[in-house]
Chain A
């Protein structure tokens, strides 16, 4: 599972970085989204990978923390997803405005001559 997750994060971030260096705004937004996915998985993995372990304590009695998944990275991921989604949407609007104003989807607003 560790291998699959690390390869997944690597591929997502690698493709995202590649796209980020491309000159078209559409490539940028896809690149940023892929990076955001990779980052979210990465945050999740920082709580250590555990299978079938609940993150929330169910009883107030003393428990062994090792039986539970770390809830904080999960909460962080939720926040990061929401924020990432909002900023991506905002960027999409700017992208469309730029396309509308300049008639070009190049990041500099004009085709390279």
Chain B
């Protein structure tokens, strides 16, 4: 086994080791801690990109582009496996990019406003990456808990009454969801006798009719745990409050957490309840479709009703989750491909938006809320901002830059051309309206029409709310000094937005990748075969025993 094969486990080991090492360093040496954290996160991003390349280029020995890593060298259904396929690699890259942006942003001041920020951040990454890589239901639970435990800590980062209150609700909801997770996993194990996802997919078709109900109940309970995480209506009321209360860089990385729930559904729904599943085939799809649409509607009403920009961003997460869930419920390859593209684009945009709104709020009202906590951080910061502004210039550069970023976020979130938000939505809509490919005739179900309408209306709602927020922030009279925005605060936003621009420019290759991903999700036979037949590493022959005379 060469180094490349071992790289699969790096996205879990690297944050774990870095997090552990950071714990040992004294809290006062924050420059060292921050440096280590940034270095590790950037290394993680490079690893993720290399893994994406692996997953995308089938080698001679590995035609399906699925790398399986047998932990402890036990064969697949018995031991624990890590599986890297296109979807997992895509999620890893997305996570690491958000992580880089969030950590760089936090260096401006947030990382000093509470203990163990860097450790928790790395452990969160470990949990998220593990959840994406694991091929085993119980390990998924363990990584979920690692992720949630560190997210509890990060949620409370910076302290304050609002955060503790929102954090309390967040923790209770997620602990209850974890219990549901365990019940679901246990029921599925009780019926099928396996926890390995690929093995499960093979056995589900053969479950006797008498156990079918138990299996469906287990899968439903398990699904609810993920839907709570994804924020499906009516399970997602905690989400806008919690994300609004979290510190800006924390909220930016939390944007991926709701996608972890979506990811698991995207992975399990076609794998376990595809065509092969016999009587259970298509289980839960209509629930996902209806629930997803309800989530979009709830999110759209939410964005229209929200005044605070933090809540606004929380409701965009709901709209994004709802769109994903409904697209999974459609269970169509091209809809899934469009949804994947949409997910990457919307997650990047929401993350950038979370970072941006803090800066905008600072421009709008320098003495308000969040700023009051660390107002003193302004004066003593050594890092200089991008340009010295003249006080009183009509539209200072800071405002111009923030305005452009805001407009870009708006285009992305509302799904207007020319940016990638439009392409994602367009891909989903095309798939919905032409479920059989581009052919004439055919009829659409009322549910599909409803989804199309909601998708368009949610874009309109996003547009209206963002226009209102933009007018309030940028055209309202500005009193006093425009505060300084540090370069390292605007750079992560620019990074995330330029990724979206990149997604737009390289729309063709990206969309092809998404298509292949969706193909392998909906036709999981190669995934199952690769996992089940993953070769063990042969033990190197022990040295021949010395013959003693």
Contacts and interface: CB of A to CB of B under 8 A. Distances in A.
A20 B176 CA distance: 9
Nearest to B166: A109
A35 B168 CA distance: 18
Contacts of B149: 86-87, 90
Given A46-B189, A98-B165, A101-B164, A72 B145 contact: no
B187 A94 contact: no
A94 B195 contact: no
Contacts of A20: 172, 176
Interface stretch (B177-185, B371-379, B457-465, B532-540): B177-185
A106 to B, nearest CB: 10
B164 A94 contact: yes
A38 to B, nearest CB: 8
A80 B50 CA distance: 34
Interface string B82-110: 00000000000000000000000000000
Nearest to B144: A83
Contacts of A10: none
Given A36-B179, A72-B195, A102-B165, A79 B138 contact: yes
A87 B171 CA distance: 9
Contacts of A69: none
Contacts of B138: 76, 79
B176 A35 contact: yes
B186 interface: yes
B169 interface: yes
Interface residues of A, number: 32
B237 interface: no
B236 to A, nearest CB: 18
B142 interface: yes
Q: Which of B148, B182, B195 has the most CB of A within 10 A?
A: B182
Contacts of B159: 97
B175 A87 contact: yes
Q: Which of A28, A32, A46, A107 has the most CB of B within 10 A?
A: A46
Interface of B: 138, 141-142, 145, 148-149, 152-153, 156, 159, 161, 164-165, 167-169, 171-172, 175-176, 178-179, 182-183, 185-187, 189-190, 195
Interface of A: 20, 25, 28, 32, 35-36, 39, 42-43, 46-48, 72-73, 76, 79-80, 83, 86-88, 90-91, 94-95, 97-98, 101-102, 107-109
| 9 closest Cβ pairs, A-B complex | A46-B190, A43-B186, A46-B186, A109-B165, A83-B145, A39-B182, A98-B164, A39-B179, A35-B179
